[in-house]
Structure 1
Amino acid sequence: MQSKEEYTMWIRSQDKKHLVKCTSFSLARNWGGKKKNAIVGSVSNASWLGKDVVLGLYDTNEIALNELTRLQTELINNSDVYEMN
């Protein structure tokens, strides 16, 4: 079993502009955009303050949650890179 520090994954953002190594993921509201739901990743080794990156935007919370579940499955299966849908 991996230690907590080893649970990281390279993520290619939905807009293809970012390839980041993330340590955690969460759902968030996207204020001001047409797509109101976002998946945000915390970047490893960004700084002591941390850095969050929007990895994908979704029309509904359900769609975002389904994508987060797929991401979780890939993390459990030790995938090296995940591309957001």
Structure 2
Amino acid sequence: MWVRSQNKKELINCASFSITRNIGGKKKSAVIGSISNGIWGRKDIVLGLYDTNDNAFDELSKLQAALNNNAVVYEMN
């Protein structure tokens, strides 16, 4: 699924998504998108940063709903 990052600077074709802690920043959680990096495995890209883990989880749920509705592009909030 194609995803536009929260900062609007990247449009990425992601294979999977996850939530992780954002270390060293004011925002506590991040939604990560993984892309295939050829023979090197996969590469993780921060798609959005959120104040709480619950906010990141809500955004991940919206991503899932978009996938269920066959959306081609999802824009992070």
TM-score when normalising by structure 2: 0.94
- The structural deviation recorded for 1:19 is 0.4
Whether 2:46 is the aligned partner of 1:54: answer yes
Whether 2:41 is the aligned partner of 1:21: answer no
Structure 1 letter corresponding to 2:23: W
- The structural deviation recorded for 1:67 is 0.5
- The structural deviation recorded for 1:43 is 1.2
Structure 1 consecutive aligned stretches of length 4 or more whose deviation exceeds 2 Å: none
TM-score when normalising by structure 1: 0.86
Question: Separation in 2 of the partners of 1:17 and 1:47?
Answer: 23
Superposed CA RMSD = 0.8
Q: Equivalent of 2:34, from 32, 35, 42? A: 42
Q: What's the counterpart of residue 4 of structure 1?
A: none
What stretches of structure 1 of length at least 5 have no aligned partner? 1-8
- The structural deviation recorded for 1:47 is 2.0
Percent of aligned positions that are identical: 61
Report the secondary structure of 1:53's partner residue: strand
Report the secondary structure of 1:52's partner residue: strand
What stretches of structure 2 of length at least 5 have no aligned partner? none
- Paired residues in the alignment total 76
Question: Separation in 2 of the partners of 1:28 and 1:18?
Answer: 19
Q: What's the counterpart of residue 75 of structure 2?
A: 83
